[in-house]
């Protein structure tokens, strides 16, 4: 089973490592790709998975590579895929 969320619905904010806001997923920005109006950020989550978030390029400067962030999304934007084993 895999939970998928479209990159444009993920919301990111900087995190200082203190108390994590409820309902968020902590991670670290590991890559950035400028795509014009948006910048695509790849966020590593506990070495288990990566999140991909599209952020308005005018805001992307606050998320350099190595930045600690938290991600959130509205539950109704997630989809669950049942994948075969293996």
In tens digits, the chain (86 residues) has pLDDT values of 788 999 999 999 999 988 999 999 999 999 999 999 999 999 999 877 899 999 999 999 999 999 999 999 999 999 999 988 86
Per-residue model confidence (pLDDT) at position 23: 92
Per-residue model confidence (pLDDT) at position 63: 98
Per-residue model confidence (pLDDT) at position 57: 98
C-alpha dist (Å) from residue 26 to 34, 36, 52, 58: 23, 26, 13, 22
Per-residue model confidence (pLDDT) at position 68: 97
Break the chain into its structural domains and give their ranges: 2-75
Torsion (CA) 14, 16, 22, 24 in degrees, nearest 10? 40
**Topology at the third CATH level for domain 2-75:** OB fold (Dihydrolipoamide Acetyltransferase, E2P) (2.40.50)
């Amino acid at each position: 089973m895999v939970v998928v969320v479209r990159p444009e619905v993920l919301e990111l904010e900087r995190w200082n490592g203190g108390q994590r806001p409820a309902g968020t997923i902590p991670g670290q920005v590991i890559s950035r790709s400028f795509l014009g109006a948006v910048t695509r950020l790849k966020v590593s989550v506990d070495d288990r998975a990566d999140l991909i978030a599209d952020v308005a390029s005018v805001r992307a400067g606050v998320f350099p590579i190595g930045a600690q962030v938290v991600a959130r999304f509205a539950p109704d934007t997630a989809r669950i895929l049942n994948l075969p084993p293996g």
